[in-house]
Amino acid sequence: MVTVPKIIKIDHIGIAVKHLDQAVKLYQSVFRLPVGSTEINAAFAVKLCFIPVGEVQVEFLEPCDQTSPFAAFIEEKGEAIHHIAYQVDDLDAFLIELREQGVKLQSETPLPGGNGTRIVFIDPAETNHVLIELVEQPAS
């Protein structure tokens, strides 16, 4: 039987900002949303935190220094939404589909994401310059 992979939901929306603390202020004080603790992702030289909103998480990303790809992103586009991550049930099955349909990816094999997830970014040239991440949660 052929597995038909599915998009389950939007996992998170990543927003590149210059100052994390200032960015989350409105969400905390007016929207009264619970702001998660700040983490560092050394691979991307980025400081980040998540805010859950319903079934989605809003992720704020602040470059630690000029080596971060998020610094280059902000330099080029200003503070803006950086990516939308869709949670999928079967990342490998999606990769087969995407390759079969000739959709270009940023990496040919899944990368390790946070919390044991596996992720792949689709080449934004394929998706109206909106960077799309596919995320598979670890088997529970």
Cα–Cα distance, 131 to 81 (Å, whole number): 9
Q: Determine the interface stretch with its own copies among 25-33, 39-47, 64-72, 107-115 (rule: CB under 8 A).
A: 25-33
Closest CA to 135 of 91, 81, 83, 78: 91
Region 78-137 residues binding its own copies, contact defined as CB under 8 A: 78-81, 84, 86, 94, 97-98, 101, 103, 122, 126-130
Shortest reach from residue 111's CB to its own copies, in Å: 19
**How far lies 51's CA from each of 6, 46, 78, 100, 128, in Å?**
25, 16, 21, 36, 26
**Which stretches of the chain are assigned E, i.e. beta strand?**
7-16, 39-41, 46-53, 56-63, 80-88, 111-112, 118-122, 132-136
Among 1, 29, 66, 115, binds its own copies (CB under 8 A): 29
Give whichever of 64 and 103 is closer to its own copies, judged by the CB atom: 103
Q: Choose the binding region for its own copies from 5-13, 42-50, 63-71, 110-118 (rule: CB under 8 A).
A: 5-13
To 5 degrees, how large is the angle CA 121–CA 6–CA 111? 30
Tokens for 32, please give them: 């009264």
Residue 138 interacting with its own copies (CB under 8 A) = no
Which spans of this chain sit near its own copies (rule: CB under 8 A)?
Answer: 4, 6-10, 13, 15, 17-18, 23, 26, 29-33, 53-56, 58, 77-81, 84, 86, 94, 97-98, 101, 103, 122, 126-130
